[in-house]
Amino acid sequence: MSTSTVDQPRPSLTMTTVQGVKWSTAATILTAIMQVGYTAIMARLLTPAAFGVVALANVVLRFGGYFAQMGMEQAIIQKQELTREDVRAAFTASVLLGIVFGGLLILLAPLSVYIFHEPEVVPVAQALALSLLLTGLSATALSLLRRTMQFRTLALVEVSSYIVSYGGVGVSMALSGYGVWSLVAASVAQGLLVGLLAYLVTRHSVVPLLSWAHYQPLWSYGSRISLISFLEFIGSSLDTLIIGRVLGTALLGVYNRAWMLVSLPMYMLTTSVSKVIFPAFSQVQADADRLRKVYLSSVTLVAAFILPTAAGMMVAAPELVYSLLGPKWGDSIPLLRVMSFTSSLMLLTMFGGIVSDARARLREKTIIILQYLLILPGLFWLLHGWGLMGYALALNLGALLYAGLFMRLLHNDLAIRYGQLLSIYVPGLFNAAVIASVLAGVQLVLNSWQLPPVVSLLVLMLVGGLVLGTLILLVPLPGLRRELSAFLDRLEPQSHSGVLGRLLARYVRFLNPTRYAPTTAYSTANPVLP
């Protein structure tokens, strides 16, 4: 039996990672812009209850989704040496699991009535169950693209499928009066398009393989990843489950849209990096020293963007809600302000989880998630008397706990001092304080002028972008300056030709003038006399 590998020679990891982040970020930004526009349109065409029904149906879908995947995607990426037989085994398992759990979800969806008390959720969940089969068909192709870090191709697949499915199918059906089914159709259509396009690019073998020798290593890692993902899903869905049951779909819709507004921009910023970081971390999983440096550098750089973005959204919450969702969504403004901290901290903590996955520290990660799951319901119970705001505050406290537990894991596994783990947030917190102060002042002026919300939002975004760019590029704090200099130095700016190369080299010298200061030769032939 052939066991030839499917990996090909690659350029340097640093350059490949940078190119991957570039394309992943481009796709993320484009998708974020389109998703904001899509949300703005659909929020005016549909009711909050429609979004609440889909949010509950997605909880049911995700419940089956984690078992339908069994971590095969991550296993393909993490495995140090991958054979063609491994690929066939992963594809076979993914398709069979998608069929089995998709069918079970269709049969068991009526039981969700006893949990949510919302009969409308049943047919929506059954329709969305088709996504499990589509995921099984596309998972292997997408994983191979990520493993080989072909993020340019992935970017084209993601953007084109989003335009057709959400911008075409979803909006057209909403305009035609299909209500909640326009959201369902858009989701299923995207899954179908992603699968078709990914396979057309990779063309991996689809011949079934039933050999436990090739399933065992994938199953050993993937099943544990699947369990962890399922536990993470429970933790991230507890608020949706409880609010939907206790307060109803209308308030859940308000909560869901507030969470979407605050988490989407930061998720898009972070996920573009995390998609690339996991395969990159996996390639150096055995080198603890190198992984330690990459982790500290990554979080420092990302936090410098994420935390001030959260602070800006906290200040601009009214303009965001009234511009993107409309006047009937005003109740989500205080929620958005509270949730901005939760979302930013959870997304930054995600990097600790990626290190655990790459290092196969899955037992330790499972214990952390179980601790989080034991405490979070208690926080919900303590603060439930405050309504939606109480649930949001409980999530803030839970996010602090979650971050602290991962800090302890990184301290033990990679020997990172607690002082270092805290210091990587300092530049981002400083930038956040400056952004919040500046935007609050600008907002006072704009409110006195009584401008339309969308105009005020654009002004706040422009000012925030300029201030953040200045803080990061021109006057970075020492920790951020050091990481920026080290990151750009690895790109070897002197090797780039043209205007861009000269500008990059000049900027690196600006960040680290001591290193690149010209040396002065002392001549004894013509001494300078006093």
Domain shared by 239 and 253, yes or no: no
Q: What is the model's pLDDT at position 494?
A: 58
User: Residue 521 — φ and ψ, nearest 5°?
Assistant: -80, 135
Nearest to 321 by CA among 365, 373, 260: 260
Q: What is the model's pLDDT at position 71?
A: 65
347: tokens are: 């997304």
Domain shared by 435 and 309, yes or no: yes
Domain shared by 260 and 239, yes or no: no
pTM: 0.66
The tens digit of pLDDT for each residue in 461-471 reads 999 999 999 99
Q: What is the model's pLDDT at position 491?
A: 61
First vs last Cα of the chain: how many Å apart? 84
Is residue 3 in a domain?
no
Range of the domain at 392: 249-475
Residues of the chain with pLDDT under 70: 1-25, 63-72, 78-80, 114, 116, 212, 214-217, 219, 245-251, 257, 264-286, 489-501, 514-530
Is residue 515 in a domain?
no
Reduce the DSSP state of residue 284 to 3 states and report it.
Answer: coil
Is residue 527 in a domain?
no
Domain shared by 225 and 277, yes or no: no
Domain shared by 350 and 242, yes or no: no
Number of domains in the chain: 2
Q: What is the model's pLDDT at position 80?
A: 67
User: Residue 339 — φ and ψ, nearest 5°?
Assistant: -75, -20
Domain shared by 268 and 298, yes or no: yes
Is residue 525 in a domain?
no
Nearest to 28 by CA among 154, 137, 122, 133: 154
Q: What is the model's pLDDT at position 264?
A: 67
The H-assigned helical ranges of 70-129 are 72-78, 84-108, 113-116, 121-128
Euclidean distance between CA atoms 93 and 216, whole angstroms? 12
User: Which residues contact residue 409 at a Cβ distance below 8 angstroms, ignoring those fewer than 6 apart?
Assistant: 352, 356, 361, 364, 365, 368
Domain shared by 269 and 399, yes or no: yes
Domain shared by 259 and 332, yes or no: yes
Which residues partner with 83 through β-bridges?
5
